[in-house]
Amino acid sequence: MSIKFNIYTAMPRFSKSVSALRSSEIRDLMTLASRPDIISFAGGMPGNDLFPVQAVEELFRELDSKTKQAAFQYAPTPGLPSLLESLEGFLETKGLPVKENRLLITTGSQQALNILGKAFIDRGEAVLVENPCFIGALSAFRSYEAELRGVPVDREGIVIDRLSQEIQRKERAKFLYITPYFHNPAGVLYTTERKEQLIASLQGTNIPLIEDDAYGDLYFFEEDRDRLKPIKAINPDGINVCYTGSFSKILGPGLRLGWMLVPEKIYQKCELIKQSADACSPSFTQVLADAFIRSGQIYSYVASVRHEYKKRASTMVAALREHLPNYVQWNEPRGGFYIWLTLPATADATQIMTLAINGGAVFVAGKTFDPAGQQNNSLRLSYCNNTPEQIVEGIPIVANAIRAICG
């Protein structure tokens, strides 16, 4: 008996939304960045040497057997009740209206953005985002086939005139997404006045606001504390504010824990979406995060890493002042992880990146953060996962690549 083999391979028929997805350039750079001969300014990753490994080990050892067992079990979809309680207390220190809203634990803040995208976006509908914008948000919203409308960001925040133009368009956007506190990638801290203008622009429009606050705890200067008050804490009338945050930058991204604080009606839909996605976020890391908050160590730990990131940022600023040509514009960071360089309009950051990689350093080209994927005369440098010695060694490589391309 002979067996016939079909030499043709069947082609899977993917959905249109999946077919449109593209890998994140930052993720693609991670393999390169792991090479020992490359100094990486690409990833927004906390410093490995800063994680509170011993403190968390001790906290887990001190837990009773029942709590440890719960760490291995499924959790309720909204989150472990104990963590919801302790996290509410942590968020209340920021003035957030926890009692008037609902808190949902998510598998990283990336899942929060994905859930909110699914809750609001139908194919082809417009959403407003900053330009430049966090690549994770762009990816999440693109997965639901949104039309991304980028609104420029300047040194004080989103440009209100351009935002107003977008708001007044006949086809109203489904929501506005912003990262006001040490913006990713631009490093900007919104001014109080700009936030007030944004609030006034949105009131009466029925356009929800997604306020992403992954970096607000990592401020460098006490005088900025007033500017760090979330719009959600201002609690403006007439705007549904969806506030998202994460343990990734203030404890560790490996926990895969974030949260959203949203109005009740939005929460109901988001909980259903999460049920269909993963049932619950990791119980084990929820137990660890809860113990860390309840011990009070989260406050002292964040203060210590804040000091270290300030030192690394200062080292990078000094190196940039010494080595960059004077036609490069950039903001000195007041917190967070990033410095955003703006080059002459004709510059191609991808060419510069290729040259820098050959020299032994890597960063992220600006078009990665452009909703249209076109504008490429800028680049993002991250100082968070490098020692001062690596920064001092790596910045001249980047500067030399800029001079080689731009003159």
Domain ranges of the chain: 16-51+299-406, 72-296
Pair type for strands 361-362 and 338-342: unpaired
| Structure confidence at residue 35 as a pLDDT band (50, 70, 90) | confident
Distance of CA 307 to the CA centre of its chain: 20
Looking at the predicted structure, is the pLDDT value of residue 301 above 60?
A: yes
297 band by pLDDT with thresholds 50, 70 and 90: very high
Whether 58 and 317 have beta carbons less than 8 Å apart is answered as: no
pLDDT at 36 over 90: no
* Mean pLDDT in residue range 335-352: 97
pLDDT at 21: 63
CATH topology of domain 16-51+299-406: Aspartate Aminotransferase, domain 1 (3.90.1150)
Asked if pLDDT for residue 356 goes beyond 80, the answer is: yes
d(CA 365, CA 374): 11
Between 53-62 and 297-323, two packed helices, what is the crossing angle to 10 degrees? 170
The confidence score (pLDDT) of residue 37 equals 84
The yes or no reply on domain 72-296 and CATH 3.40.47.10 is no
More confident residue, 371 or 27: 371
* C-beta separation of 382 from 218 below 8 A: no
What is the chain's mean pLDDT, rounded? 94
What is the per-residue pLDDT across 142-186, written as a single tens digit (0 to 9) for each? 999 999 999 999 999 999 999 999 999 989 999 999 999 999 999
The pLDDT of residue 16 is 73
pTM of the model: 0.93
